[in-house]
Amino acid sequence: MNMKLITIFYVCFILFVIALANQGELGILAVIVYEVPYTDKLGHFILMGLLAFFLNLSLKCSTISILNSTFLKGSIIILILVTLEEISQLLVETRTFDLMDLFADYLGIFVFGRLALYFNARFA
């Protein structure tokens, strides 16, 4: 299957989950996330990490230079969007802004970005 198509489907899935969370409609998933310790943070790590992974592979791990450092374009895009989404939770009654969620997002973006580099070098 085409990596860009996988990325599009995954973005749609993430948007669907965010919409459900904003409406307070996560159902049994919310029970699991809030009852099992660290499930929420693990979810952030994996969901945003996979998003960065798929986008970076779709972009063939292209990079940009910022202040003499090189970054994956896909990771930068996801980092910005995730930051904006987490901040937007301050405006949504059914959501809660959490710096630890943001940290888990960032960690997932970094780890899965490195994994995308490995996959791109090995299988491209």
58-68 pLDDT, tens per residue?
A: 999 999 998 99
- Low-confidence stretches of the chain (pLDDT < 50) are none
Scored b (16 or more CB within 10 A) or e, 62-82 reads: ebeeeeeeeebebbbbbbebb
Q: How high is the pLDDT of residue 1?
A: 66
Q: Under a CB-based contact definition with an 8 Å cutoff, are residues 114 and 51 in contact? A: no
Structure tokens at 124: 């491209």
Q: How high is the pLDDT of residue 12?
A: 96
Q: How high is the pLDDT of residue 18?
A: 86
